[in-house]
Amino acid sequence: MTAPENIQRAPQPARLSRRTLLGATAGGVLLGGVAAAALPTAAQAAPAPRCYTRTEWSARPPKSATQVIAKPDHIVIHHTASPNVTDYSLSAAYAVQHWIQNLHMDTNGWIDIGNQLTISRGGFLMEGRSKSLTSINNGQNVLGAQTADNNSHTIGIEHEGIYVTENVTTALFDTSVLTCAWLCNTYGLDPHVAIVGHRDYNTTQCPGDVFYARLPELRDRVAAVL
């Protein structure tokens, strides 16, 4: 679940060096000659998954302007702690997104939904905070409200459901893989460093023991896509 818009702590430096990012092609040998033509482009390696926009799910407008910030160095995995529904339809996805936005704006008093992205139990990816999608596509981020003290350098993905004892759906996990691969590719991040659980930063059970235990698998699958 998301946390207050507290950005007092300075952003942590990225732990990933450019050398590490480029390690697979160090020296340029692998990119030479005919072999280079056969390599997929970055966009082909991790194409953007279908993301349902705020217009499509009929988001409420934010109370004040969204702040566009520099690209994140970490991707934070959350669960919504809402019931594990068995309605996997797009309309159910829109419904949970409205529930999150209303909670964040009306109960928490935030300017908008706190997280940048949401994935439903049915595997539908949706845009969260205003300008999230265009910012990602521009290699930037928006200042969210999802990980206390760390909003200035992280991007948050809410996953519908509660995974303290139950497992995620295959559809949700598969979309999370594609979404994280898209983000790692866009931002030049190493999935084994960048993908973390909310509990890695704040005192919370989020994203639940079961989902948290599957983060190594998530990182490995994202790396395989990349």
Q: Which residues bind Zn ion (CB under 5 A)?
A: 1, 78, 198, 206
**In the bound complex, what is the minimum distance in angstroms from residue 206's beta carbon to Zn ion?**
3
**In the bound complex, what is the minimum distance in angstroms from residue 71's beta carbon to Zn ion?**
21
Please report, for residues 25, 33, 112, the alpha-carbon distance to residue 160 in angstroms, rounded to integers and kept in the order given. Answer: 37, 46, 18
Taking a C-beta distance cutoff of 8 angstroms, is the pair 156, 78 a contact?
yes
- Type of residue at 54: R
Q: Which is nearer to Zn ion, 64 or 107 (CB)?
A: 107
**In the bound complex, what is the minimum distance in angstroms from residue 79's beta carbon to Zn ion?**
7
- Type of residue at 9: R
Q: Which is nearer to Zn ion, 151 or 185 (CB)?
A: 151
* 83 Cβ contact list (under 8 Å, min separation 6): 161, 162
Q: Which is nearer to Zn ion, 46 or 104 (CB)?
A: 104
* 111 Cβ contact list (under 8 Å, min separation 6): 5, 62, 63, 64, 66, 105
| Closest to 116 measured CA to CA, from 74, 168, 86 | 74
Q: Which is nearer to Zn ion, 59 or 206 (CB)?
A: 206
Q: Which is nearer to Zn ion, 52 or 211 (CB)?
A: 211
**In the bound complex, what is the minimum distance in angstroms from residue 19's beta carbon to Zn ion?**
32
**In the bound complex, what is the minimum distance in angstroms from residue 102's beta carbon to Zn ion?**
17
**In the bound complex, what is the minimum distance in angstroms from residue 96's beta carbon to Zn ion?**
15
**In the bound complex, what is the minimum distance in angstroms from residue 198's beta carbon to Zn ion?**
3
Q: Which is nearer to Zn ion, 121 or 198 (CB)?
A: 198
Q: Which is nearer to Zn ion, 78 or 153 (CB)?
A: 78
